[in-house]
Amino acid sequence: MNAIDSEKPGIPAVVTVGDELVLGERGNENSRWMSEWLKLNLRPAGVQLSLPDDVETIAQWLKQLLQENHFPVLVAGGIGGTHDDCTRAGIAQALGVPLTRHPECWEILVARYEGREMNESRSNMAMLPEGCSLIENPHGAPGFEMGGIFAFPGFPNMLQAMLPSLSHRFGPQTRELQMSEHQVRLKTREGDISDAVRQFSELHPDCKLGIYAHSGKSWGEVSLRFRYPGSRDDLKLEFRQFVENLGKPEISEP
């Protein structure tokens, strides 16, 4: 699928790779950041996955995302040259192409490591899916993209410098496709308003209304977060009226 040419742009997917993420040994800042960037600048992600350093698992899930017409599929992590960097091979397998030495990537790496040995680990970073295009990295080795998959290093400073430069590749960027949100905090129990929240949600299938109970010192308070198409300011007004009709005291967010 080429989501740019499609009448209905695809739903983005966020993928991070690393055993340390799956095992909960490290916080997943990249996943949170990519999802937030998509929500603010393109379209909200529909899927967020953390995958282990395993070629077969990476390939399996990426193939499924492509079959479900997700676009773009953003992948962070695992494109270095060490033994556990499996993302390059996983993407190649998902797309049904071999890994080959990318001439331009090789030249970039040789220049970057001038005066140092191009050992196996460094050389491996130039082994990319055949036919892919490079994504410029101002801080290190390039990423690459092919078939709707965009692969980035796992270093947050690199990812955050690279992704925004590709926004023009991801299809229409209009307020109709972006989501806005409005949040209120109420003095009430979750169960006291859950039926009304469900009914409002059913009337607005193109929106998302989340209800989040607080704990600790804020026990007995809930937040309602309303996410709606960015061009539909009328929906925000309708939500505000819904909140007023609940008749629950509104609390200023701390």
- The radius of gyration computed from the CA coordinates of the chain, to the nearest angstrom, equals 22
pLDDT tens-place string over residues 100-156 = 999 999 999 999 988 888 998 899 999 999 999 999 999 999 999 999 999 999 999
- What pTM did the predictor assign? 0.81
17/54 same-domain check: yes
Domain of 66? 11-169
46/127 same-domain check: yes
Alpha carbon 130 to its chain centroid, in Å, reads 25
Tell whether 254 is covered by a domain: no
Tell whether 148 is covered by a domain: yes
Q: How far, CA to CA in Å, does 17 sit from each of 54, 74, 130, 222?
A: 9, 11, 21, 34
Which of 169, 204, 237 terminates a domain? The answer is 169
Closest C-alpha to 150, from 24, 3, 250, 36? 3
What average pLDDT does range 167-185 have in this prediction? 77
What average pLDDT does range 3-32 have in this prediction? 85
- Please state, rounded to an integer, the average pLDDT across all residues of the chain: 91
104/51 same-domain check: yes
pLDDT tens-place string over residues 163-174 = 999 988 887 655
87/126 same-domain check: yes
Residue with tokens 């078939």: 147
30/92 same-domain check: yes
Is the pLDDT confidence value at 28 over 80?
yes
What is the token pair recorded at 243?
């909140």
20/87 same-domain check: yes
